[in-house]
Structure 1
Amino acid sequence: MITLTDSEDLVDFGPIPPEINRLLQQGVDIHPSDPARARAFFRTAIELAPDVLPSYRCLFKLQNKLRDFESARETATSALFRARTQAGLDADWRRWTLAQLTAAPEYPARFVLMFLKALAFIELRDGHEDLAAAYLAQLEQLDPEDGVGASVIAALLAHREA
């Protein structure tokens, strides 16, 4: 068992159940040295509380880092489904509007944007520039202030296309 004692080293995942927070903190703590165990912590968190959105983010970030793009894509897609359901958005992300996102509860709406950005990045890294561009175009509409930093992914895409 891993024991975390220094609260300054903890990641603030927001209002999540303490047992899920412990799993995520443990996974974050060991991911550089033991990615397989970290993945198990993140998956366990998702299995125990599938509506806790930060768990998905931890898992797909690890999968992406490990260049396991198929798994990262599946996790991010599942995450987006959960977030959009909590936000009360349509099943098709292409039909979402800024007005709908603004009217949605803030917590899942923020994750909707993060998960769209993640999918754009995963698709770009996996060589699917057209799909990455589609996600980025939607993010420009939904997040005109670039609060989630999609412009970084857009710059990477523009560099690839140049």
Structure 2
Amino acid sequence: MPADPLASDTQARQQERVLHGHDQPPLLPTVYCVAIMSRSKSTENLIAFGPLPAHVNELLQQGVACHRSDPPRARALFRHAIEISPKSLPAYRCLFKLQNQQREFDDALATALDGLAEAAHQARVDQDWRKWTLADVGSATQRTIPQRFLLSFLKATAFIELRRDNTEVSRNIVTHLQRLDPEDGVGHSVIAALLDDDAETETD
């Protein structure tokens, strides 16, 4: 079945005109063409958050769309998504990324830790990341969604702590990430490089 019923109806009318010897098939109305183009463009701009309740996905999409032009509105949308669906892990990431961009580092850390706790709960691992093992986070090719968020949120925590000038805490997190994710699938090497740069600056 065609994805767009309106397009199907239009094609049928065009074919009927040709079969009956009428003029060439009419062009689609301009308004309809614009609607198709707008729909395609808006779909291209959507973020793939993975499996989420439709209403939560809509809140996150709206927040992403306005996070630069209207940060307070985006913040409210992300917070609401967490409130109504605390199990939706992407909502935490959206919020702490915005808070980090706005230099709200204490709030960003709190959000990242909340997300980390929820991911640990879903992955059925200890709430203390220092006790996580390779078995807890799974192999690089077979991680569950919660396990992927464990590493992603832990990396975010390391970065936020670095921005809060807690370099020693950040370094401890990165060191443990290197044990949990030796392939660097989560990208902890980026933060390690920042920590090295910071250390070199202090010694200059």
Displacement of 1:148 in angstroms is 0.9
Post-superposition CA distance 1:28-69 (Å, at most 9, x none): 000001000000000000001001000000000000000000
Kindly provide the amino acid, as one letter, of the partner of residue 179 in structure 2. Answer: Q
SS at match of 2:185: coil
Larger Rg: 2
Instruction: Work out which of the residue numbers 64, 68, 72 in structure 2 matches 1:28.
Output: 64
Runs of 4 or more consecutive aligned structure 1 residues displaced over 2 Å after TM superposition:
none
Displacement of 1:99 in angstroms is 1.4
CA contact (8 A) 2:123 2:147 kept: yes
Displacement of 1:95 in angstroms is 0.8
Instruction: Work out which of the residue numbers 136, 159, 171 in structure 2 matches 1:121.
Output: 159
Q: CA RMSD in A?
A: 1.4
The residue number in structure 2 matching 1:59 is 95
SS at match of 2:138: helix
Count residues in correspondence.
159
Kindly provide the amino acid, as one letter, of the partner of residue 152 in structure 2. Answer: M
Instruction: Work out which of the residue numbers 154, 157, 162 in structure 1 matches 2:195.
Output: 157
Matched, 1:111 2:122: no
Matched, 1:99 2:142: no
SS at match of 1:136: helix
Displacement of 1:105 in angstroms is 6.0
TM-score normalised by length of structure 1 = 0.95
SS at match of 1:112: helix
Kindly provide the amino acid, as one letter, of the partner of residue 67 in structure 2. Answer: H
Matched, 1:80 2:150: no
SS at match of 1:15: coil
Q: 2: distance between equivalents of 1:52 and 1:105? A: 17
Q: 2: distance between equivalents of 1:11 and 1:135? A: 28
CA contact (8 A) 2:60 2:94 kept: yes
Q: Compare 46-55 and 99-108 and name the one that shifted more.
A: 99-108
Displacement of 1:138 in angstroms is 1.1
Q: Kindly indicate whether structure 1 or structure 2 has the higher relative contact order, using CA contacts under 8 Å at least 6 residues apart.
A: 1
Gaps (5+ residues) in structure 1?
none
Q: 2: distance between equivalents of 1:8 and 1:80? A: 30
Identity, % of aligned positions = 53
CA contact (8 A) 2:158 2:170 kept: yes
TM-score normalised by length of structure 2 = 0.76
CA contact (8 A) 1:42 1:58 kept: yes
Kindly provide the amino acid, as one letter, of the partner of residue 158 in structure 2. Answer: A
